Amino acid sequence: MICLKVASDLLIFRHKPRVFAVSPNTSAAAWAVACLIMLVSISLTFVVVSLTLGMPLAMAREWHAVQGDIVRVETALPGEHASLRCFGKSWPVKAGATGHWIGWIGVDLGQKPGDYTLHWTSKTRKASGRLHVKRGHFRISRITVKKEMAVFDARALARIHADHASLRKAYGMYVNAKPDISIVRKPLNGIVSTPFGARRYVNGEPRSPHTGLDIAAPEGTPIVNPLAGRVLLVKSMFLNGNTVVIGYGLGLVMVYSHLKSLHVHEGTWLKTGATIGEVGRTGRATGPHLHWGVRFNGARVNPDSLPVRVGGRKKQGT
C-alpha cells in the first residue's frame, strides 16, 4: 500500500503528501529499496520455514528429452502397484528401494516439442512430474536408387502396404518379459551410415524421416540379439528387404532389415546373444547394412537411447 501511495504521489507530482510513514523528503529510490528488502525477507522466511518443516520446495520433478529419446524417470511414492502415464499412455515401471519407483517413457520422433506432465499413481498416493521435450536436430540424408525403387507401380505399392500392415501388427503384439528395457549389447558394431531421424531425400524427392539407425558392415557379418525376446515377424519385404521383428516385452519391439537371408522362425524365443541373421543388402539398400529400428510402446525411438548394461551392470545414468 505504501509503495502504491508513493507511486501515485510521484505520478501526480504531489510535493507535500499528507500520508507518510517516514520523512517527506524520502526519495522514490529509498522506497524501492525498502520494498525489495521486504520481499527478500518474506522469501527467506518461506525458505527457512519450508526447510524446517521438511517440505519439498519443488513439488514436481523435471526431466529433459529430445524427440526420439527414451527417458528414465523416477519418483518417491509410497504404496504398492505404481503406474506411470504420459502422452496419454501407460509406461513400464519397476520398483526400486522402498517407496521408490523407476519408469521409462518413449518420446516419439514426431512428438511436438513442449512441456508434458507425467502422472504417477500408487494404491494410496499420487505424484506428478514434468517432461520438457525439445526438437531434435536431424541431418539431411540423400540417396540415389534405381527408378523402380523410388517410383512404385501398383504391384509394388500393394506389397509396400501389405508390409506396413504386417509391421503394425507385429509392433502391437504382447510379449511377457521381465520389467527392464536395458539391452546387453548392440546387435552390430559398424559405421553409422544413416542416423536416426535423418530427413531423407530419395532421388531428390522428400520422403518420411528415417525411423531407425543404419549400421554399415561387411555382408555376412552376424547380427546379434541384444536382449532375450520372441520372434514376432519374419518376412521378405519390398523396401525393407529380409526383415525380422522381435518383441522384448513392456512394449519394446525391434526391427532388423536388409538381412542377407531369413533363418529364424516366427513364435520362437531367441536368447540374448543368439544370431538373428547376417548383414545383407536386400530391399532398397545402397550397400550392405543393418537397418535397426526400435519401437517403445508405439513410439519411434532412437536405438542409441536404449540403456546398455555393461558386464551385467548398467552404464551411469541408465
Closest distance to Zn ion from the beta carbon of 145 (Å): 13
Question: Which CB atom, from 122 or from 257, has the smaller least distance to Zn ion?
Answer: 257
3-state secondary structure of 25: coil
Closest distance to Zn ion from the beta carbon of 193 (Å): 8
Neighbours of 51 (CB within 10 A): 10
Number of residues that bind Zn ion (CB under 5 A): 3
DSSP state of 279: B
Question: Which CB atom, from 163 or from 214, has the smaller least distance to Zn ion?
Answer: 214
Q: Which of these segments, 116-124, 129-137, 204-212, 228-236, binds Zn ion (CB under 5 A)?
A: 204-212
Closest distance to Zn ion from the beta carbon of 277 (Å): 15
Q: Which of residues 206-245 bind Zn ion (CB under 5 A)?
A: 212, 214
Closest distance to Zn ion from the beta carbon of 242 (Å): 14
State the binding string over 282-301 for Zn ion (x if CB under 5 A, else -). Answer: ---------x----------
Cα 84 versus chain centre, distance: 15
Grid cell 526391427 is found at 255
Question: Which CB atom, from 118 or from 246, has the smaller least distance to Zn ion?
Answer: 246
Closest distance to Zn ion from the beta carbon of 236 (Å): 17
Q: 20 vs 16, 28, 37, 76, 82, CA distance in Å?
A: 10, 12, 19, 52, 59
Closest distance to Zn ion from the beta carbon of 212 (Å): 5
Question: Which CB atom, from 67 or from 240, has the smaller least distance to Zn ion?
Answer: 240
Q: Which of residues 166-185 bind Zn ion (CB under 5 A)?
A: none
Question: Which CB atom, from 212 or from 241, has the smaller least distance to Zn ion?
Answer: 212
3-state secondary structure of 259: strand
The residue at minimum Cβ distance from Zn ion is 291
Cα–Cα distance, 141 to 223 (Å, whole number): 24
Neighbours of 28 (CB within 10 A): 12
Residue 15, all three cell numbers: 510535493
Exposure string for 271-304, b = 16+ CB within 10 A, e = fewer: eeebebbbbbbbbbbeebbbbbbbbbbebbbbbb
Residues that bind Zn ion (CB under 5 A): 212, 214, 291
